[in-house]
Structure 1
Amino acid sequence: MSHTRHLHAAKHLALAAVAALAVVAQPASAQPRGVVPPRPVSRVDATYPREANKQHGEVVLGVTVDAEGHVQAVEVMDSAGKLLDDAAVRAAWQWTFEPAQRNGTPIAAKVRIPFHFAPPEDPPHDSVPSPPPPRLAPSNTAEEAPSPGARAIGTEAAAPSAPATAPAPAAGTAASEQDPHTVTIIGHTRPPTRGASDFNIRVGQLANVPRKNAAEMLKLAPGILLTNDGGEGHAEQVFLRGFDAREGQDVEFTVGGVPINDVGHPHGNGYADTHFILPEVVESLRVLEGPFDPRQGNFAVAGSADYELGLRERGFTAKYTQGSFNTQRMLLLWGPQGETTHTFGAGELFKTDGFGQNRDARRGSIMGQYEGHIGERGLYRITGQAFAIDYHSAGVLRQDDVDAGRKQFFDTYDFNQGGNSSRYSIAADLETRTGNAFFRQQAFVIARTQRIRENFTGFLLDTQTPLQNPHSQRGDLIDMNMTSTTLGLKGFGRSRQKVLGENQEAEFGYFARADRVSGTQHRIENATQVPYHVDSDLDSTMTDLGLYGDLNLRANKWITLRGGARADLFTYNVLNNCAVDSIAHPTRDNPPGDASCLSQQDFGRYREPVQRTTTASTAVMPRGSLLLGPFTGFTFSGSIGKGVRSIDPNYITQDARTPFADILSYEGGVQFAREINKVEIVARSIFFQTKVDRDLIFSETAGRNVLGGGTTRTGWVGALRATGSFFDESFNVTFVKSTFDDTHLLVPYVPDVVVRSDTALFAPMPFRIANKEVRGTLGIGITNVGRRPLPYGQRSDAIFTVDASASLKWTAYEVALTSTNLFDSKYRLGEYNFASDFHSQASPTLVPMRHFSAGAPRSIFVTFGVTFGGEG
């Protein structure tokens, strides 16, 4: 086909007029200075819908562009009907921009884009190609934004005239002829980046990669491995850059800034259960690997992760999932029209019989958020959440029992393992701006309950002692219970001044959290399911009061120094309700018997079984990052910082001055960010080292981590994110060596190598239904984990899994097919070496043996969805 025929065919299918952006300047007297609006780098023309029946119309979109130049949200501000609205929205999501800038610093901004639609007609034979659309004109009269991440709302855009071959009238007038529009500033701020290890992750199309829950979104950040020995209602065990963070002890988890980590949890201080977060309402995720930001607080040892909530799809959406092991899920989403993407409601009901034995679960979760404006200079959010789950778990199996056929790969020893959990919370945020100062305040209340029943050792620990009444081994089932209430406040003020020709920023903030926790741990008799021993019974009141200061200093546009210090005061008031559980010299006439909480000291002297302990200490944590660049897309960075992890109340002693562990971390890295041939590329290379003075190591007899010695972690991270018009790829690899400082042996259970790939493909399908477009998506997630070191010089097996999903969307309807563990790999999710006795052998050995928890077999699910009243 000739070049002319190509042009004619394209014009038959293309839009008669395309949208462009042009800024309308306000009168200088009405606006401050310093903001340059976003400028489009690549744009995609909207395709005129065939079924529009030669309809003319103009659709005006409000497009939010983040600080990296990506489209973050699209709202229909002026509608021309669903067909034209949908076409405009689909096109806008594929645009990329040079982000808005405030005095040279990229910020998020919101702009208006009008799309003029005119039906295509046969072009004359002497037609010529249309001129390219104009670029967005910069402006030096826009109002100054308060901070990175703020939105500049306003500035009308004008579309160009229609192509010469189209009979439609001009799509818009010149910018100078339009009425001026007020620029207002409203935004939810994000802290400045801390270098190459600061990952601000847009989920976007990668939401199509299969994920069981919000925790699995962490895999979009490098070096993260998730395992779970405890079932559907048990928090994931997190491995990050050489840390076995267990269920959150070394990672500070937050959602919209509200803490998730449980202080004083009997299963482990810092336990973080993210199952209440619905993955469909996670808009973005910030993972900072390392303690380099003064805003990071307790448990930010390996790093921190903050979930930002939002729902892009407007209207009402209902989805139903049915699949393997009688798994069913009902999901309802509501995004009211005319509100921002941060206003939504969401609810879920879920049930499954689970694979193999004893893995059933039932849960429900409700989340709602409202974002509103206070005039033109303020923003508020109210977020509420309710969650409950009841579940069973299979626990671990001995490898020799599976090899001998005494147990199958997906079996269990103890059907009493499992638990239940609930979480209720409400949070309120307020952001305001006054001149060059920006303020944010947040308050939150959290109510939590948790019960966990686990059996790692079978019938090993309850041996007969001379002081006890005669008994047989009663079983090692651990029953942990926790009830807590959390109150918190946090906030900051940020100010900007121009010094030495550059904008310099200073931020000062505070954090206040109080927890009242009641935690118990009992041992349960196998035959009767009643407690026979108290491991711990603590009523604790803990307070964390923190202050921080952070400076953002620029020597010139290529050299930036960011950092400051944070200081936290930790206070503990712990009532041990079972302070005495042994007697060095019991009396002959009054032996203690099987009582757990004894009421006598040496030789029968009476005492109360309770004891109260109080202590307090302050941790000072300096942190800083130096950034050089960007130079043709490259930014070099170096960071150093101290972190802190508060100590479990079990280890508190009267007036001890250091109820926390100290962490020192430093790294150097380089980041490359640029668009190449219309593909956005972000690549990183990072070398790091972290030292911990008192680490935590898993104990199967205690059922949780216990204090150990010092450790050091050294490693390298490589990451790549590539986004094009029809694909999105995230790939990362981490190599790390974790050793004890005294013996230089490898820290057990920590993976040396973690490789992860997430791929999403999306495009219109080559066929239509009822003359309407069908859009298809394909998502693939690949995980490869090297052989992990185990105690006694052993190594685990490697893990390799592939998950995949495919979906089709037609008008308001959607169907998706998902498969996890696509190739049905029979892998061991967790592996351990320790001694146990599960009564599976007549003469059990007490030599440490390999134990494992089974990974899920191949599972297939189908999802049906429908959206009413959406805008695309």
Structure 2
Amino acid sequence: MSILQPPPVPRSLSVGALAAALCIAPTCAGAQAARADEVTLSEISVSAVAAPTAAAAGPASASAGYVGGVSGIGGALRPVDAASGGIISGAQINSRPVTRPGEVLEEVPGLIVTQHSGEGKANQFFLRGFNLDHGTDIALFVDGMPVNMRTHAHGQGYADLNFLIPELVGAVEFHKGPYFVRDGDFASAGSVRIDYLDTVAQNVALTSLGSFGYRRALSIASAPLGTGNLLVAGEAQTYDGPWEVPDNLRKLNGVLRYSQGTALDGFSVTGMAYWARWNATNQIPERAVADGIIGRYGTLDPTDGGDTGRFSLSGRWSQTDETGITRANAYVIRYRMNLWNDFTYFLNDPVNGDQFRQLDDRVLGGGEVAHVFQGDLVGLPMENEIGLQTRTDAMRVGLFNTTNRLFRSTVLDDRVLEASAAFYYENRLRWTDWLRTSVGFRADGYYADVRSDTPANSGRARDGIVNPKLGLVLGPWAETELYLNYGGGFHSNDVRGVTATTDPASPLFNVARSPFLVPSTGYEVGIRNRSIAGLETAVALFRLDFASENLFQGDTGTTEPSRPTRRLGIEWTNRYAVTPWLRLEGDLTVTNARFADRDPAGSRVPEAPTTIASAGITFGEGLGWFGSLRFRYFGPRPLIEDNAVRSKPTALLNGRVGYNFENGVSLSLDILNLTNARADQITYFYESRLPGEAGGVADRHFHPVEPTAVRLTLAGRF
């Protein structure tokens, strides 16, 4: 047993039973659809599980789903030494009625997942006063593999989660802030680690039909094979959306996994394959709709869209002995993306238009190995963890001017090799029953070689950074713990901006080089309370500072200067298991985001959300009726530095109702945007030029929320 953990769960409770106890959604393949590793929890403890015993839990038990204060997916679970971290079960993830796969991560308190383009494009993320773009400062992992793509053709940290199969999710671990030694690049605002199941106790087949051409079929099956288990999953989906030019999304997805043993002593090998193509209705200018040039769901360039493919092979291994726990994972990913966008129409080229193609074609590989040593220091319980991470990307990234997807000219076409390695160490010490500390550091080193079609922009770059990580936990007293955290973090910049000296579109002009690694510093004080039976509430006050930086813009192939920023905020998170069949939740995040220097342009950080709130109710237990109602509020945001132009708030309500039959069949109905709100998914403010306009016009550009849509799902377990 980990000596730093609270009293353990009884040995008779397995990981699979724990996960089954957390299952609340029929789409997680019943109560046993969570991780089925039959390993006792003698070395695992959970600081808060608001669930009945595994034997009593049913397929729609609403009494749990959110496990606060735990971490270590795929290995030993240990306390999360921050009020803003935790674990969410796959069952709770699947209880949400959502429009697109990435939206299931909105179960992470304070996280907004939205879209401004076609359904095959990566989501837009917002957290802790950040417009994270497509993933610049939120690190996402699926089964130990990084999702964020560095030096990506469209944007640094581009994280495409459209290959995610929610029904396969066993658990989701989330952290916020740069306080954790395992988190490195892109994790300053937070990190999310998603683990897939090894087996399902019942095979699953489901089909969904819905508004706007939505069709989806999914099957999941597992069976013993030799001394282990084989899991197979396949998914196919189509979707048009309400757009005047249909998305015409076509998606195929598959997972094949062989596993032996348990999460603490065992291994797995997993292959994944994903392919998609789509049209895209990007954000459109308000004036075009107001003047009747296009409708609310119209487009100014009907040939925007893209295609992508992702193929991966990964493995994980773990072993527990008298010294502690060793874990390792490795992966190789083949990734390709073509993206056609036209955001400014005729601003730069009044004759041919401004559409461009972005190409990203890469192979990346890497892995991690870590060991937790258990022991003592002068009689005080202690753990030491050391780890090594590595990653290498070999890629071709290109930007090309196009018209109706036809090539016109090359802006840039670069070959890049980028590699990194990191070493981390953390000491965790329990001084008394009410005091424990964690002290550690993380050292990262980066190397890159850029071979550009513009010779002046070729070159090599190296950089490194060392960040401390500190945590202190006081309590529990009266079921209450106090947390203090401090840590340094960073994100890497697109390395093309690090080596570039010349604007590829205008070779006579020099450009400012970007720093390779941009540091951040975070502080947090928080409290978590469980004094009321079934209720877990947490409050965190945080601050995050980012250094001055230059950002490489994939849409233009140039660098743009940015300024130092400071974010101050408060988060309030609540999870309440009222009864075994009724669960409530509510979250609120308020953030003040400002530039830290003085500039006549203003102090507001464009697109930084001030207020994010959500609330939900989930009901159902075992056979019979089940359902969920989810509210999400995305507050107004400044769109320019002086706050003279702001976005409108977006408030959405999604609902689900269904019935579990005795024969293993379930039927559910999702209603998305239940109130038919005429709101925006996202809003920008920039210059564009429409046909007939004499020059560029600064305007709001928005991507509307889809109108009310229904989706009917028939699922069978056998």
Q: Normalised by the shorter chain, which TM-score bucket?
A: 0.7 to 0.9
Select 2:254's aligned residue among 361, 366, 379. Answer: 366
**In 1, Cα distance between equivalents of 2:420 and 2:450:** 15
Q: Check conservation: 2:152, 2:554, Cα contact below 8 A.
A: no
Cα distance 1:36–1:200, how it changes in 2: closer, same or farther (>3 A)?
closer
1:308 Cα shift?
A: 1.4
1:544 Cα shift?
A: 0.6
Which residue number in structure 2 is paired with residue 815 of structure 1? Answer: 667
Which residue number in structure 1 is paired with residue 63 of structure 2? Answer: none
1:563 Cα shift?
A: 2.7
Any gaps of 5 or more consecutive residues in structure 2?
Answer: 23-29, 35-39, 57-69, 502-512
- Whichever residue aligns with residue 365 of structure 2, its letter is L
Is 2:613 the counterpart of 1:794? Answer: no
- Whichever residue aligns with residue 509 of structure 1, its letter is G
Which residue number in structure 2 is paired with residue 748 of structure 1? Answer: 606
Is 2:135 the counterpart of 1:248? Answer: yes
Q: Check conservation: 2:207, 2:713, Cα contact below 8 A.
A: yes
Matches within 5 A, 1:306-345: 306-310=193-197, 313-336=200-223, 344-345=231-232
Is 2:615 the counterpart of 1:727? Answer: no
1:270 Cα shift?
A: 1.1
Select 2:591's aligned residue among 713, 736, 743. Answer: 736
Cα distance 1:150–1:337, how it changes in 2: closer, same or farther (>3 A)?
farther
Q: Check conservation: 1:101, 1:107, Cα contact below 8 A.
A: no
Matches within 5 A, 1:440-839: 440-462=327-349, 473-526=351-404, 529-579=405-455, 612-653=458-499, 658-674=515-531, 676=533, 680-694=534-548, 702=556, 706-723=560-577, 724-742=579-597, 743=599, 745-763=603-621, 774-791=623-640, 793-810=644-661, 811-839=663-691
Is 2:9 the counterpart of 1:38? Answer: yes
Q: Check conservation: 1:209, 1:758, Cα contact below 8 A.
A: no
What's the TM-score, normalizing by structure 1? 0.72
Cα distance 1:663–1:114, how it changes in 2: closer, same or farther (>3 A)?
closer
1:830 Cα shift?
A: 1.3
What do residues 53-86 of structure 1 show as CA deviations (whole Å, max 9, x unaligned)?
xxxxxxxxx74369xxx932379xxxxxxxxxxx
- Whichever residue aligns with residue 826 of structure 1, its letter is R
Q: What's the secondary structure of 1:521's corresponding residue?
A: strand
Cα distance 1:329–1:850, how it changes in 2: closer, same or farther (>3 A)?
same
**In 2, Cα distance between equivalents of 1:388 and 1:783:** 30
1:752 Cα shift?
A: 0.6
Q: Check conservation: 2:463, 2:516, Cα contact below 8 A.
A: yes
Q: Check conservation: 1:691, 1:710, Cα contact below 8 A.
A: yes
What value does the CA root-mean-square deviation take over the aligned residues? 3.3
Is 2:711 the counterpart of 1:861? Answer: yes
Q: Check conservation: 1:717, 1:734, Cα contact below 8 A.
A: yes
Q: What's the secondary structure of 1:688's corresponding residue?
A: strand
Matches within 5 A, 1:129-148: none
Q: Check conservation: 1:63, 1:92, Cα contact below 8 A.
A: no
1:701 Cα shift?
A: 6.5
Cα distance 1:718–1:740, how it changes in 2: closer, same or farther (>3 A)?
same
**Alignment identity in percent?**
23
Tell which deviates more after alignment, 657-666 or 475-484: 657-666
**In 2, Cα distance between equivalents of 1:675 and 1:549:** 36
1:100 Cα shift?
A: 6.5
- Whichever residue aligns with residue 808 of structure 1, its letter is Y
Q: Check conservation: 1:288, 1:304, Cα contact below 8 A.
A: yes
Structure with greater contact order relative to length (CA < 8 Å, sep ≥ 6): 2
Select 1:64's aligned residue among 14, 31, 34. Answer: 14
What do residues 216-265 of structure 1 show as CA deviations (whole Å, max 9, x unaligned)?
12211222122211211001010110111111111111112211111211
1:317 Cα shift?
A: 1.4
Tell which deviates more after alignment, 188-197 or 490-499: 188-197
What do residues 350-404 of structure 1 show as CA deviations (whole Å, max 9, x unaligned)?
0112212232200011123332128x97311112211000001111221122112
Cα distance 1:289–1:696, how it changes in 2: closer, same or farther (>3 A)?
farther
What's the TM-score, normalizing by structure 2? 0.87
Larger Rg: 1
**In 1, Cα distance between equivalents of 2:53 and 2:687:** 66
1:427 Cα shift?
A: 0.9
1:348 Cα shift?
A: 0.5
What do residues 660-701 of structure 1 show as CA deviations (whole Å, max 9, x unaligned)?
11101111110113561xxx2211111111111135779797
Q: What's the secondary structure of 1:336's corresponding residue?
A: strand
**In 2, Cα distance between equivalents of 1:658 and 1:845:** 34
- Poorly superposed stretches of 4+, deviation over 4 Å: 34-37, 89-93, 99-108, 111-115, 148-151, 337-343, 654-658, 695-701, 703-707
Q: Check conservation: 2:281, 2:298, Cα contact below 8 A.
A: yes
Tell which deviates more after alignment, 655-664 or 731-740: 655-664
Any gaps of 5 or more consecutive residues in structure 1?
Answer: 1-31, 41-61, 76-88, 94-98, 116-147, 152-186, 463-471, 581-610, 765-773
